[in-house]
Structure 1
């Protein structure tokens, strides 16, 4: 079944009980990222050219794109790999901050790369100036505090084999 098949099976959309309400409902930004490791257990971080902090591979979902599809697309765009990414590690709510509205961030398990795959990686997106494999402890000073907490939560979820919910990186 495809998404189009599923939408068709849903039938006609519900009518608005109060005309115009759908357009007034809040919108959230949604992003999907991946926790990708090398065979030494270090985490892959991307070096964006547009901000002073490291990030994990991934990015904001386009309209009508799922967080998982966004994660897979961004990995292909950023590092040129078509990884099998499915397992959810973290759902993290992020509050509004500055010009950015609140949002939902999803981290998926990107798996472990062989030493050959890791050594061959290069950025394939002009927005990135580099890639770095780092132990979590070494990465913390190079991450926004909320991202450090989110990655730590993802590592906990990976070890536990259970997804976790967090708010601004703080696991509940």
Structure 2
């Protein structure tokens, strides 16, 4: 059995996907938690879970769609940071400090009208969803998540993979 080395630091690993409708609008979801809850479907990886498996699981849990992730679009590293918690999150023992980590964003593709009709939000995690013009969508997100989403859209359009550090291209 694997025993973690207490001297090695933990890293946060989370993955998501960008989805679009036939008009090219970006799917954004509103979480039931957090100060700035709008983002793309996705979440934190479980131990020994591959990134694509994380995306499949999180998308199915959050919006009820089982779909294989497409191409990798964004590799994003973020430094450790503090986050603002709600009273209920504090009461549940959530930490206000997030370790540094890696976020991968995959192409979820274009959802058909049948896919969209089949969206079922997990009410414990998701409060709402919308398909929005990319500029309108990123206005709802935290600055960091907005930069990830914008980079994913650019990568999808150009057929490239974008690497970001703290939401920005390294200099």
**TM bracket (short chain):** 0.7 to 0.9
Select 1:27's aligned residue among 7, 10, 15.
10
Select 1:116's aligned residue among 111, 114, 123.
114
Instruction: Identify the structure with the greater helix proportion.
Output: 1
**What's the C-alpha RMSD, in Å, of the aligned pairs?**
1.9
Between the two proteins, the alignment pairs up a number of residues equal to: 154
Give 4+ residue runs of structure 1 displaced > 2 Å after superposition. Answer: 20-23
Q: Decide whether the 8 Å contact of 2:29 with 2:38 is kept in 1.
A: yes
Say if 2:63 is the partner of 1:65. Answer: no
Select 1:75's aligned residue among 52, 59, 68.
59
Say if 2:137 is the partner of 1:139. Answer: yes
Structure 1 gap segments, 5+ residues each: 1-12, 14-19
Q: TM-score, normalised by structure 1?
A: 0.83
Structure 2 gap segments, 5+ residues each: 83-96
How far did residue 121 of structure 1 move?
1.9
Say if 2:40 is the partner of 1:56. Answer: yes
SS in 1 for 2:121: coil
Select 2:74's aligned residue among 79, 90, 95.
90
Mean alpha-carbon deviation: is it higher for 72-81 or for 119-128?
119-128
Q: Decide whether the 8 Å contact of 2:15 with 2:44 is kept in 1.
A: yes
If you compute each CA radius of gyration, which structure gives the higher value, 1 or 2? 1
